[in-house]
Amino acid sequence: MEMAKVVRNWWSHSKTVVLIWSICIAIYFSLLRLALNNSSSLGYTSTIDSPVSNMEQRSRLYDKMERDLDENGPAFLKHGGTTQSLSLSDIFTLKDGSVKPVHKAANPPVRANVLYLSPEYSVPISESAKQVFHPYFGKAIWFQNSSLYHFSMFHASHHIVPVPATEDEIEAEATAVGAVAEGLCPLKIVLDRVVLTSTGVLLGCWQVISGPDPVTIRAKLRSALPRAPEKQLYDDAILHTSFARLLGHPKVSSTEPSKELHVSHELVARLNSIIRGAEVVISELWYVEEYDVLALALDGRMKERRFRLGCKRT
Ligand SMILES: *[C@@H]1O[C@H](CO)[C@@H](O)[C@H](O)[C@H]1NC(C)=O
Protein backbone atom coordinates (compact mmCIF):
# COMPACT_ATOMS: atom_id res chain seq x y z
CA MET A 1 0.00 0.00 0.00
CA GLU A 2 2.68 2.43 1.17
CA MET A 3 4.93 1.29 -1.72
CA ALA A 4 2.25 1.91 -4.33
CA LYS A 5 1.79 5.47 -3.06
CA VAL A 6 5.53 6.16 -3.23
CA VAL A 7 5.67 4.89 -6.80
CA ARG A 8 2.63 6.95 -7.75
CA ASN A 9 4.18 10.08 -6.21
CA TRP A 10 7.47 9.45 -7.95
CA TRP A 11 5.65 8.91 -11.24
CA SER A 12 3.69 12.13 -11.09
CA HIS A 13 6.82 13.99 -10.02
CA SER A 14 8.75 12.64 -13.03
CA LYS A 15 5.93 13.60 -15.35
CA THR A 16 6.12 17.18 -14.07
CA VAL A 17 9.90 17.25 -14.51
CA VAL A 18 9.64 15.91 -18.06
CA LEU A 19 6.93 18.44 -18.87
CA ILE A 20 9.02 21.34 -17.54
CA TRP A 21 12.07 20.17 -19.45
CA SER A 22 10.09 19.81 -22.66
CA ILE A 23 8.80 23.34 -22.32
CA CYS A 24 12.32 24.67 -21.68
CA ILE A 25 13.71 22.87 -24.71
CA ALA A 26 10.86 24.04 -26.92
CA ILE A 27 11.37 27.66 -25.83
CA TYR A 28 15.12 27.36 -26.34
CA PHE A 29 14.72 26.12 -29.90
CA SER A 30 12.13 28.70 -30.85
CA LEU A 31 14.38 31.48 -29.48
CA LEU A 32 17.31 30.02 -31.39
CA ARG A 33 15.28 29.94 -34.58
CA LEU A 34 14.17 33.50 -34.03
CA ALA A 35 17.77 34.57 -33.48
CA LEU A 36 18.92 32.82 -36.64
CA ASN A 37 16.09 34.32 -38.68
CA ASN A 38 16.88 37.78 -37.37
CA SER A 39 20.56 37.52 -38.05
CA SER A 40 19.94 36.46 -41.64
CA SER A 41 17.29 39.10 -42.31
CA LEU A 42 19.56 41.84 -41.01
CA GLY A 43 22.34 40.65 -43.25
CA TYR A 44 24.75 39.85 -40.41
CA THR A 45 25.49 36.45 -41.85
CA SER A 46 27.16 37.90 -44.92
CA THR A 47 30.80 38.75 -44.85
CA ILE A 48 32.39 40.98 -47.40
CA ASP A 49 35.07 38.61 -48.59
CA SER A 50 32.95 35.51 -48.86
CA PRO A 51 31.19 35.56 -52.24
CA VAL A 52 29.86 32.02 -51.77
CA SER A 53 27.95 32.88 -48.63
CA ASN A 54 26.66 36.09 -50.24
CA MET A 55 25.42 33.99 -53.13
CA GLU A 56 23.77 31.54 -50.74
CA GLN A 57 22.20 34.37 -48.81
CA ARG A 58 20.74 35.73 -52.04
CA SER A 59 19.39 32.30 -52.98
CA ARG A 60 17.69 31.92 -49.62
CA LEU A 61 16.26 35.41 -49.92
CA TYR A 62 14.93 34.70 -53.43
CA ASP A 63 13.41 31.39 -52.24
CA LYS A 64 11.58 33.35 -49.57
CA MET A 65 10.42 35.99 -52.07
CA GLU A 66 9.21 33.23 -54.38
CA ARG A 67 7.08 31.73 -51.58
CA ASP A 68 5.63 35.12 -50.63
CA LEU A 69 2.77 35.01 -53.16
CA ASP A 70 1.44 31.69 -51.85
CA GLU A 71 2.14 32.38 -48.20
CA ASN A 72 0.63 35.85 -48.08
CA GLY A 73 -1.87 35.56 -50.90
CA PRO A 74 -2.28 37.86 -53.90
CA ALA A 75 -3.00 41.16 -52.16
CA PHE A 76 -3.06 42.86 -55.56
CA LEU A 77 -6.23 40.89 -56.36
CA LYS A 78 -7.94 41.46 -53.05
CA HIS A 79 -8.36 45.21 -53.08
CA GLY A 80 -9.60 45.63 -56.60
CA GLY A 81 -13.34 44.99 -56.32
CA THR A 82 -14.02 44.60 -60.02
CA THR A 83 -11.90 43.91 -63.07
CA GLN A 84 -11.81 47.65 -63.71
CA SER A 85 -10.54 48.79 -60.36
CA LEU A 86 -6.90 49.25 -59.51
CA SER A 87 -5.65 47.93 -56.24
CA LEU A 88 -2.84 50.44 -55.92
CA SER A 89 -5.15 53.34 -56.63
CA ASP A 90 -3.22 55.71 -54.41
CA ILE A 91 -0.24 55.42 -56.77
CA PHE A 92 -2.06 54.97 -60.07
CA THR A 93 -5.08 56.37 -61.81
CA LEU A 94 -6.96 55.39 -64.96
CA LYS A 95 -6.92 58.36 -67.32
CA ASP A 96 -8.16 58.37 -70.93
CA GLY A 97 -8.27 54.59 -70.79
CA SER A 98 -4.66 54.17 -69.74
CA VAL A 99 -2.90 53.77 -66.42
CA LYS A 100 -1.02 56.83 -65.19
CA PRO A 101 1.07 57.08 -62.05
CA VAL A 102 0.05 59.71 -59.54
CA HIS A 103 3.13 61.74 -58.64
CA LYS A 104 3.52 63.01 -55.11
CA ALA A 105 6.37 65.29 -54.14
CA ALA A 106 8.94 63.66 -51.88
CA ASN A 107 9.87 66.07 -49.12
CA PRO A 108 12.81 66.08 -48.67
CA PRO A 109 13.74 64.40 -51.96
CA VAL A 110 14.95 60.82 -51.64
CA ARG A 111 18.65 60.35 -52.49
CA ALA A 112 19.22 56.90 -53.94
CA ASN A 113 22.28 55.11 -55.28
CA VAL A 114 21.43 52.57 -57.92
CA LEU A 115 23.25 50.38 -60.39
CA TYR A 116 21.93 51.11 -63.86
CA LEU A 117 20.96 48.53 -66.46
CA SER A 118 21.48 49.91 -69.94
CA PRO A 119 18.69 49.67 -72.55
CA GLU A 120 20.84 47.28 -74.57
CA TYR A 121 19.82 44.69 -71.95
CA SER A 122 16.65 46.13 -70.46
CA VAL A 123 14.67 46.58 -73.67
CA PRO A 124 14.57 42.85 -74.60
CA ILE A 125 13.61 41.99 -70.99
CA SER A 126 10.86 44.60 -71.00
CA GLU A 127 9.54 43.34 -74.37
CA SER A 128 9.33 39.79 -73.02
CA ALA A 129 7.52 40.92 -69.87
CA LYS A 130 5.01 42.87 -71.99
CA GLN A 131 4.51 40.03 -74.42
CA VAL A 132 3.69 37.59 -71.59
CA PHE A 133 1.69 39.80 -69.22
CA HIS A 134 -0.05 42.36 -71.42
CA PRO A 135 -2.59 39.96 -72.98
CA TYR A 136 -3.79 38.95 -69.51
CA PHE A 137 -3.54 42.18 -67.58
CA GLY A 138 -4.17 44.81 -70.27
CA LYS A 139 -4.48 48.10 -68.43
CA ALA A 140 -4.24 46.58 -64.98
CA ILE A 141 -0.46 46.59 -65.12
CA TRP A 142 2.28 49.21 -65.01
CA PHE A 143 5.49 48.37 -66.82
CA GLN A 144 8.73 49.83 -65.53
CA ASN A 145 10.19 52.26 -68.08
CA SER A 146 12.93 50.25 -69.79
CA SER A 147 15.20 53.33 -69.89
CA LEU A 148 15.21 53.28 -66.09
CA TYR A 149 15.84 49.66 -65.09
CA HIS A 150 17.90 49.83 -61.91
CA PHE A 151 19.17 47.90 -58.91
CA SER A 152 18.61 49.81 -55.69
CA MET A 153 21.83 49.75 -53.65
CA PHE A 154 21.98 52.33 -50.90
CA HIS A 155 20.05 55.40 -49.81
CA ALA A 156 21.69 58.59 -48.58
CA SER A 157 18.18 59.56 -47.47
CA HIS A 158 14.89 57.70 -47.74
CA HIS A 159 11.23 58.27 -46.92
CA ILE A 160 11.38 56.40 -43.59
CA VAL A 161 14.45 58.16 -42.20
CA PRO A 162 14.82 61.44 -44.11
CA VAL A 163 18.28 63.04 -43.93
CA PRO A 164 17.89 66.62 -45.17
CA ALA A 165 20.92 68.01 -47.00
CA THR A 166 22.02 71.39 -48.36
CA GLU A 167 23.08 71.77 -51.98
CA ASP A 168 26.72 71.67 -50.91
CA GLU A 169 26.18 68.51 -48.91
CA ILE A 170 24.45 66.93 -51.91
CA GLU A 171 27.40 67.85 -54.14
CA ALA A 172 29.79 66.34 -51.59
CA GLU A 173 27.72 63.14 -51.46
CA ALA A 174 27.70 62.88 -55.26
CA THR A 175 31.48 63.38 -55.36
CA ALA A 176 31.97 60.65 -52.75
CA VAL A 177 29.76 58.26 -54.73
CA GLY A 178 31.72 59.10 -57.89
CA ALA A 179 34.90 58.09 -56.09
CA VAL A 180 33.33 54.77 -55.07
CA ALA A 181 32.31 54.13 -58.70
CA GLU A 182 35.88 54.88 -59.85
CA GLY A 183 37.16 52.00 -57.70
CA LEU A 184 34.49 49.45 -58.72
CA CYS A 185 34.78 47.12 -61.68
CA PRO A 186 31.80 46.40 -63.95
CA LEU A 187 29.63 43.49 -62.81
CA LYS A 188 28.65 40.55 -64.94
CA ILE A 189 25.41 39.14 -63.57
CA VAL A 190 22.84 36.51 -64.47
CA LEU A 191 19.07 36.53 -64.03
CA ASP A 192 18.51 33.84 -61.39
CA ARG A 193 14.71 34.00 -61.52
CA VAL A 194 11.63 36.17 -61.93
CA VAL A 195 9.30 36.35 -58.94
CA LEU A 196 5.91 37.93 -58.32
CA THR A 197 5.41 39.29 -54.80
CA SER A 198 2.09 39.19 -52.97
CA THR A 199 1.74 42.93 -53.57
CA GLY A 200 1.94 42.35 -57.31
CA VAL A 201 5.47 43.52 -58.05
CA LEU A 202 7.18 41.51 -60.79
CA LEU A 203 10.86 41.33 -59.90
CA GLY A 204 14.02 40.08 -61.51
CA CYS A 205 16.39 38.49 -58.97
CA TRP A 206 20.02 38.28 -60.03
CA GLN A 207 23.25 36.50 -59.11
CA VAL A 208 26.77 37.80 -59.61
CA ILE A 209 29.06 36.01 -62.08
CA SER A 210 32.02 38.37 -61.76
CA GLY A 211 32.81 41.76 -60.31
CA PRO A 212 32.12 43.23 -56.88
CA ASP A 213 29.38 41.71 -54.74
CA PRO A 214 26.42 43.97 -53.80
CA VAL A 215 27.45 43.45 -50.16
CA THR A 216 30.83 45.04 -50.95
CA ILE A 217 29.27 47.85 -52.98
CA ARG A 218 26.85 48.70 -50.16
CA ALA A 219 29.66 48.64 -47.60
CA LYS A 220 31.71 51.09 -49.72
CA LEU A 221 28.72 53.38 -50.19
CA ARG A 222 28.01 53.27 -46.48
CA SER A 223 31.51 54.41 -45.61
CA ALA A 224 31.40 57.09 -48.33
CA LEU A 225 28.04 58.36 -47.00
CA PRO A 226 28.41 58.42 -43.20
CA ARG A 227 25.24 60.47 -42.66
CA ALA A 228 23.04 57.90 -44.44
CA PRO A 229 20.25 56.15 -42.51
CA GLU A 230 21.61 53.28 -40.43
CA LYS A 231 18.65 51.15 -41.41
CA GLN A 232 18.46 50.68 -45.16
CA LEU A 233 15.49 49.45 -47.19
CA TYR A 234 16.85 46.16 -48.48
CA ASP A 235 18.93 43.17 -47.48
CA ASP A 236 22.66 43.82 -48.04
CA ALA A 237 22.97 40.92 -50.45
CA ILE A 238 19.95 41.49 -52.69
CA LEU A 239 20.34 42.36 -56.36
CA HIS A 240 16.94 42.98 -57.88
CA THR A 241 15.15 45.02 -60.54
CA SER A 242 11.45 45.68 -60.82
CA PHE A 243 9.89 44.89 -64.19
CA ALA A 244 6.22 45.65 -63.59
CA ARG A 245 3.49 46.19 -61.04
CA LEU A 246 0.22 44.29 -61.32
CA LEU A 247 -2.71 46.49 -60.37
CA GLY A 248 -5.77 44.28 -60.74
CA HIS A 249 -7.29 41.08 -61.98
CA PRO A 250 -6.09 39.05 -64.96
CA LYS A 251 -8.55 38.49 -67.81
CA VAL A 252 -9.55 34.89 -67.31
CA SER A 253 -12.84 33.10 -67.93
CA SER A 254 -13.50 32.75 -64.21
CA THR A 255 -13.00 35.31 -61.47
CA GLU A 256 -12.39 32.49 -59.01
CA PRO A 257 -9.40 33.63 -56.89
CA SER A 258 -7.62 30.27 -57.15
CA LYS A 259 -7.90 30.43 -60.95
CA GLU A 260 -6.48 33.96 -61.01
CA LEU A 261 -3.62 32.95 -58.74
CA HIS A 262 -2.94 29.94 -60.94
CA VAL A 263 -2.79 32.12 -64.05
CA SER A 264 -0.40 34.53 -62.30
CA HIS A 265 1.93 31.63 -61.46
CA GLU A 266 1.69 30.35 -65.05
CA LEU A 267 2.66 33.73 -66.47
CA VAL A 268 5.65 34.04 -64.14
CA ALA A 269 6.75 30.53 -65.19
CA ARG A 270 6.35 31.48 -68.86
CA LEU A 271 8.43 34.65 -68.44
CA ASN A 272 11.05 32.64 -66.54
CA SER A 273 11.30 30.18 -69.39
CA ILE A 274 12.11 33.06 -71.76
CA ILE A 275 14.48 35.28 -69.79
CA ARG A 276 15.90 33.26 -66.90
CA GLY A 277 19.65 32.82 -67.33
CA ALA A 278 20.04 36.11 -69.24
CA GLU A 279 23.50 37.59 -68.65
CA VAL A 280 24.10 41.32 -68.54
CA VAL A 281 26.92 43.70 -67.70
CA ILE A 282 26.43 46.64 -65.37
CA SER A 283 28.82 49.51 -65.87
CA GLU A 284 27.17 52.56 -64.28
CA LEU A 285 26.35 53.66 -60.75
CA TRP A 286 23.85 56.50 -60.45
CA TYR A 287 23.35 59.00 -57.65
CA VAL A 288 19.70 60.01 -57.99
CA GLU A 289 17.70 62.76 -56.32
CA GLU A 290 14.08 61.68 -56.50
CA TYR A 291 11.83 64.76 -56.25
CA ASP A 292 8.68 62.62 -56.48
CA VAL A 293 7.87 59.53 -54.45
CA LEU A 294 9.17 56.46 -56.34
CA ALA A 295 10.37 58.68 -59.19
CA LEU A 296 12.68 56.01 -60.62
CA ALA A 297 9.86 53.48 -60.67
CA LEU A 298 7.06 55.77 -61.80
CA ASP A 299 8.71 58.20 -64.23
CA GLY A 300 8.58 61.01 -61.69
CA ARG A 301 10.78 64.08 -61.48
CA MET A 302 14.38 63.32 -60.66
CA LYS A 303 17.96 64.39 -61.22
CA GLU A 304 20.57 61.74 -61.79
CA ARG A 305 24.35 61.89 -61.84
CA ARG A 306 25.88 59.00 -63.77
CA PHE A 307 29.22 57.48 -62.88
CA ARG A 308 30.98 54.81 -64.91
CA LEU A 309 32.49 51.95 -62.95
CA GLY A 310 36.17 52.78 -63.45
CA CYS A 311 37.81 49.58 -62.15
CA LYS A 312 40.72 51.69 -60.84
CA ARG A 313 42.87 50.52 -57.96
CA THR A 314 42.26 52.73 -54.97
C1 LIG B 1 11.17 56.71 -69.91
O2 LIG B 1 12.29 57.34 -69.36
C3 LIG B 1 12.98 58.17 -70.26
C4 LIG B 1 14.24 58.63 -69.56
O5 LIG B 1 13.96 59.26 -68.36
C6 LIG B 1 12.08 59.31 -70.68
O7 LIG B 1 12.75 60.15 -71.61
C8 LIG B 1 10.82 58.75 -71.32
O9 LIG B 1 9.91 59.77 -71.58
C10 LIG B 1 10.16 57.75 -70.38
N11 LIG B 1 9.06 57.11 -71.06
C12 LIG B 1 7.82 57.19 -70.63
C13 LIG B 1 6.82 56.43 -71.40
O14 LIG B 1 7.50 57.86 -69.68
How many CA atoms within 13 Å lie on the side-chain side of 4? 1
Between strands 187-196 and 150-157, the pairing is unpaired
pLDDT at 94: 77
- CA of 29 relative to ligand 1 center, distance in Å: 52
* Ligand 1 atom nearest to 148, measured from its CA: 2
pTM of the prediction? 0.81
In this structure, the residues whose C-beta lies within 6 A of any atom of ligand 1 are: 145, 147-148, 299
CATH number of the structural domain 54-308: 3.90.1140.10
Task: Mean pLDDT check: name the lowest of 19-33, 68-82, 108-122, 250-264.
Answer: 19-33
**Terminal-residue alpha carbon distance, the chain:** 87
pLDDT above 90 as % of the chain? 67
Greater pLDDT, 74 or 26: 74
User: What is the residue with the minimal CA distance to atom 3 of ligand 1?
Assistant: 147
User: What is the residue with the minimal CA distance to atom 7 of ligand 1?
Assistant: 147
Mean pLDDT (the chain, rounded): 86
* Ligand 1 atom nearest to 146, measured from its CA: 1
Task: Mean pLDDT check: name the lowest of 74-78, 114-118, 233-237.
Answer: 74-78
Radius of gyration of the chain (CA): 24
Distance of CA 3 to the CA centre of its chain: 67
Domain ranges of the chain: 1-49, 54-308
pLDDT at 75: 85
pLDDT at 45: 43
pLDDT at 41: 41
Nearest to 214 by CA among 180, 239, 195, 246: 239
- CA of 298 relative to ligand 1 center, distance in Å: 10
pLDDT at 178: 98
pLDDT confidence bin for 313, thresholds 50/70/90: confident
